Amino acid sequence: MVMVNPLISAHLVSANEDLIGMRALDIFIAVVESLTEAGIAVINNNHITQATWCCGANPYDTAWYNNHIGAFCRVRQTEDQWLDNWHLMMSFWSGWGSLEGKYSKRSFESFAASMMDEWAYSLGQDIAPVWVGEFGCPHLPNNLHYWNNLMRFLKLVDADFAYWAINPKKPVNDELETYGLVGDDWETPILDYRLRDMIGLGKQ
């Protein structure tokens, strides 16, 4: 998108006629601006270098740059090129706002101690900002132990966070996204324990 910035076929944006005739980067900017005007925060995130649903694909290009991967990677760019491209993308919005391991049922005290050791010390010591991203739970979970510990800890340290995911369906095969937060109309919220807990975090 950044290196080639292709002209996008009209049929791909037919639902938004004002985008017809625009290039990929211009459409991306228009979408981000529209979302933010609607009160939806957007985080630029380069998971992979081709536009596809993340899971199940193996495009061999999921590193943040690939000057050592060689022919395996579809898009060849050095670290410096990656940084330049990232700078370009961010310039539009710069200034915006064991049994003791991860699979165990741990006490909150043990959980909190691990979180503090691994990342939350950055908040307590004012070392760096922290944004906890891409966590979620299904509508009807079998176990809320981890979720409850995480919610309690995020409230304790007042960390910023982002939930995954909002979409009602997965992009592939129109399957139900059980972690989604809205109905099929993309407007009706699913009012369950997840929104209740996250609204509680936002009120502190």
CA-wise closest residue to 173 among 55, 75, 87:
55
**Chosen domain end from 65, 91, 117:** 91
Task: Say if residue 82 is in the same domain as residue 131.
Answer: no
How confident is the prediction for the chain on average, in pLDDT? 82
Helix (H) or strand (E) holding 79: helix 79-91
Q: What is the mean pLDDT of residues 29-36?
A: 92
Res. 84: pLDDT tops 70: yes
- Give the position of tokens 């992009």: 171
Note whether 165 and 136 are within 8 A (CB). Answer: yes
Residue 148 has pLDDT above 60, yes or no: yes
Domain count of the fold of the chain: 2
Local confidence band at 89 (pLDDT 50, 70, 90 cut-offs): confident
- pLDDT for 26 equals 95
Same domain, 198 and 152: yes
Higher pLDDT, 53 or 76: 76
Bridge partners (DSSP) of residue 7 are 23
Q: Is residue 84 located within the same domain as residue 112?
A: no
Q: Work out the average pLDDT over 136-157.
A: 91
Note whether 119 and 181 are same-domain residues: yes
2 in a structural domain: no
Three-state helix/strand/coil letters over 20-44: CCCEHHHHHHHHHHHHHHCCCCCCC
1 belongs to a structural domain: no
Are 194 and 179 in contact, with CB atoms under 8 Å apart?
no
pLDDT at 194 over 90: yes
> Which residues constitute the domain of residue 71?
10-91
CA angle 165, 167, 170 (to 5 degrees): 95
Q: Do residues 79 and 116 share a domain?
A: no
Residue identified by tokens 């985008």 is: 19
- Does residue 100 form part of some domain? no
Residue 94 pLDDT level (bands cut at 50, 70, 90): low
Question: Would you state the pLDDT for residue 204?
Answer: 67
